[in-house]
């Protein structure tokens, strides 16, 4: 996640938030102690503790982080001051997070829900998901179902979600919660390029949007896929399916 010339990274296993200066490639630690003990302690810089920070987003002022092991949403200033949001609300392994500047959209993974947090009031509501494991689409988001949702991005008022176990990319209206499937075949693992349900994925996880396209990182295939939002056409832009390595 980029803000002010820096790339902010949720360093999950180190329980830290790291900063990479894009001009110099210098890496520093903004917040969190890396001593092998995850926690949920608020504080300034290295006095704060995180528990498996995973998703990260920004409204241009603050960083918002999903802390999956502690089931919390953390708010971090660009100077490293960390607090906990929405105290009293229950999450179950929050992973992906995105924002439109007014609301946060959180993938409450083990509850199989897409949650919305009003940034100003920190009130939490459910945007989509029945809580049941499944793959159902529905104009009423609360009747839709998901299975192991992981990553989320926001483009044109729509949330695009990697439904990892279903092997699909889901689309959720950020206002109404209406849910549909953009690409992939439910329950079919593969690496085929194609349009809509003709494409297959291998455990899609990370996702972002740029220039009318989605870019998806696949765990099983070790590839980066590109999806044209307007047509659902999926292609492979980097990597060889099933080949693990680090070759440029």
Domain ranges of the chain: 1-85
Separation CA 194–CA 220 (nearest Å): 18
Residue with tokens 């192991």, as numbered in its chain? 148
With the C-alpha atoms ordered 69, 73, 78, 81, is the resulting torsion angle positive or negative?
Answer: negative
> pTM for the complete prediction?
0.96
Q: CA–CA separation, 236 vs 191, rounded Å?
A: 8
What is residue 29's predicted lDDT score, i.e. its pLDDT? 98
Contacts for 197 with CB less than 8 Å, ≥ 6 apart: 181, 183, 184, 185
DSSP 239: S
Per-residue pLDDT, 117: 98
Report the pLDDT averaged over residues 9-29: 98
Summarize the confidence of residues 171-192 as an average pLDDT. 97
Tell me the average pLDDT across 206-226.
97
Class of domain 1-85: mainly beta
Write the pLDDT tens digit of every residue in 83-141.
999 999 999 999 999 999 999 999 999 999 999 999 999 999 999 999 999 999 999 99
Output Rg (C-alpha) for the chain, integer angstroms. Answer: 18
Average pLDDT for 202-207: 98
Contact 160, 214 (CB under 8 A): yes
Average pLDDT over residues 198-203: 98
Average pLDDT, the chain: 97
Query: What are the tokens at 33?
Result: 């102690």
Residues 6 or more apart whose CB falls under 8 angstroms from that of 153 comprise: 98, 159, 160, 207, 208, 209, 214
End-to-end Cα separation, the chain, in angstroms: 23
How far apart CA 16 and CA 33 sit, in angstroms, is 6
Distances (CA, A) of 245 to 72, 239, 248: 34, 9, 9
pLDDT at 34: 85
Instruction: Classify residue 74 as exposed, middle or buried by CB count within 10 Å of its CB (0-12, 13-18, 19+).
Output: buried
Q: Which two tokens stand for residue 110?
A: 């083990």
HSE toward the beta carbon, residue 34, CA cutoff 13 A: 14
Contact 85, 76 (CB under 8 A): no
DSSP secondary structure, 145-180, as one string: -BSSEEEEEEETTEEEEEETTTTEEEEEETTT--EE
What's the CA gap between 51 and 39, in Å, rounded?
5
* 61 pLDDT higher than 90: yes
Segment 139-150, tens digit of pLDDT: 999 999 999 999
């Amino acid at each position: 996640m980029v803000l002010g010339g820096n790339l902010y990274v949720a360093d999950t296993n180190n329980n830290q938030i790291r900063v990479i200066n894009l001009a110099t490639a210098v890496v520093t630690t903004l917040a969190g102690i890396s001593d092998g003990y995850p926690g949920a302690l608020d504080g300034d810089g290295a006095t704060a503790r995180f528990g498996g920070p995973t998703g990260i987003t920004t409204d241009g002022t603050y960083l918002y982080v999903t802390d999956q092991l502690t089931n919390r949403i953390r708010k971090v200033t660009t100077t490293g001051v960390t607090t906990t949001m929405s105290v009293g609300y229950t999450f179950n392994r929050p992973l992906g997070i995105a924002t439109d500047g007014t609301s946060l959209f959180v993938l409450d993974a083990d509850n199989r829900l897409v949650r919305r947090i009003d940034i100003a009031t920190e009130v939490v509501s459910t945007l989509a998901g029945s809580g049941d494991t499944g793959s159902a689409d529905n104009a009423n988001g609360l009747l839709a179902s998901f299975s192991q949702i992981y990553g989320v991005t926001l483009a044109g008022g729509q949330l695009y979600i990697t439904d990892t176990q279903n092997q699909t990319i889901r689309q959720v209206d950020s206002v109404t919660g209406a849910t549909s499937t953009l690409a992939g075949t439910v329950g079919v693992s593969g690496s085929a390029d194609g349009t809509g349900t003709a494409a297959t994925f291998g455990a899609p996880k990370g996702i972002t949007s740029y220039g009318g396209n989605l870019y998806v990182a696949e765990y099983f295939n070790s590839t980066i896929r590109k999806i044209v939002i307007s047509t659902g056409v999926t292609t492979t832009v980097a990597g060889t399916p099933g080949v693990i390595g680090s070759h440029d």
